[in-house]
Structure 1
Amino acid sequence: MEREEPFWDFVAGRTQAPPAARTLGWHLEEVDPAAGTIRVAFEAAPEFRNPMGNIQGGFLAAMLDDTLGPALVATLEPTQFAPTLELKVSFLRPARPGRLVGTGRVVHRGGTIAFLEGDLRDPEGKVVATATATARIVRTA
């Protein structure tokens, strides 16, 4: 898909990834704007570990936010953006440094509010965290 918008420019490699995405090791694997779904891979760096050696929950929450948000942003018009209003994360099992895969989907999208959900899985496919989010759709221009 060749669209010229900030999200699509980044996906197409025409612009650099945002700093937060670079920090998280964000890599798009699949996006379907018509379905409002996305799959993103992250590289959980050893620097993200807590004292127990697991990935600190704030990084997992950031990964989920950077999965669910783009699932919605991929469906928006060029003059729209969708900041997260609320993010609820459930941590199910420890995550170790390495590759994690986030999947997200738009559950419902109204005129100015959208509801999102997704999960984050380890290399064995086990769910390490789930999230739901509410986002507000706003015009940027």
Structure 2
Amino acid sequence: MAPPPSVFDDFPLPPASRLLGWTLRDVDVEAGTIEIGFEADGRFVNPAGTVQGGFLAAMLDDTQGPALFAMTGGAVYAPTIDFSISFIKPARPGRFVGRGRVVSLGKTIVFTEAELFDAEGALVARGTFSARAMKGEMAGAR
């Protein structure tokens, strides 16, 4: 299934997103939700052989931000002010799916959430985010 047309069609993918294997899977602009695919290979593992938590946090961050960007048609982006991540289970290298949503969009503050699932559909991490709502052009970053 091809992803629906979106604000990301003509948006250059940032290098960090490319590293994470970022792929738009689905977006619902009205609901403020998004689904992103990621791929973690051996470069992402810690000594225990699981994906290092910082990479999982980056995947969650690179899910929730695009949810807001899509919902506002690219008019608002939100640099993260604060986030809280819960690591639910060890994540082995492979494919992941991030599901994000905009919880609240105020004049200056945005609240979002994201969950990350492994290839078997098991929840591996979830995060809540606070961000500053910024209007205008971004310098090639989400």
TM-score (norm 2): 0.87
Q: CA deviation at 1:15?
A: 4.6
Unaligned runs of 5+ in 2: 138-142
1:121 to 2:117 alignment: yes
**Distance change in 2, residues 1:53/1:36 (3 Å):** same
How many residues are matched?
Answer: 134
Q: What displacement does 1:51 show?
A: 0.2
CA distance in 1, matches of 2:86, 2:38: 18
Partner residue of 2:51 out of 49, 55, 59: 55
Identity of matched residues, %: 51
**CA contact 2:68–2:76 (8 Å) conserved in 1:** no
Q: Are positions 1:88 and 2:84 aligned together?
A: yes
Aligned counterpart in structure 2 of residue 16 of structure 1, from 12, 16, 29:
12
SS of 1:124's partner is coil
Q: Distance in 1 between matches of 2:130 and 2:100?
A: 13
Matched to 2:37, the amino acid is: A
Assess if the C-alpha contact under 8 Å between 2:102 and 2:111 holds in 1. Answer: yes
CA distance in structure 1 between the aligned counterparts of 2:46 and 2:115, rounded to whole angstroms = 21
Give the CA deviation at 1:78.
4.3
Distance 1:65 1:16 in 2: 17
CA distance in 1, matches of 2:126, 2:74: 29
1:112 to partner: Cα distance: 1.5
Deviation string 1:59-114 (CA, Å, 9 cap, x unpaired) is: 00000000011111112254432111111100010101110000010111111111
Q: Work out the CA distance in 2 between the residues paired with 1:2 and 1:121.
A: 24
C-alpha contact 2:35 2:100 (8 A) present in aligned 1 = yes
Structure 1 gap segments, 5+ residues each = none
TM-score by length of 1: 0.88
Please tell me whether residue 134 in structure 1 is matched to residue 130 in structure 2: yes
> Is the counterpart of residue 41 in structure 1 residue 37 in structure 2?
yes
Matches of 1:81 and 1:90, distance apart in 2: 24
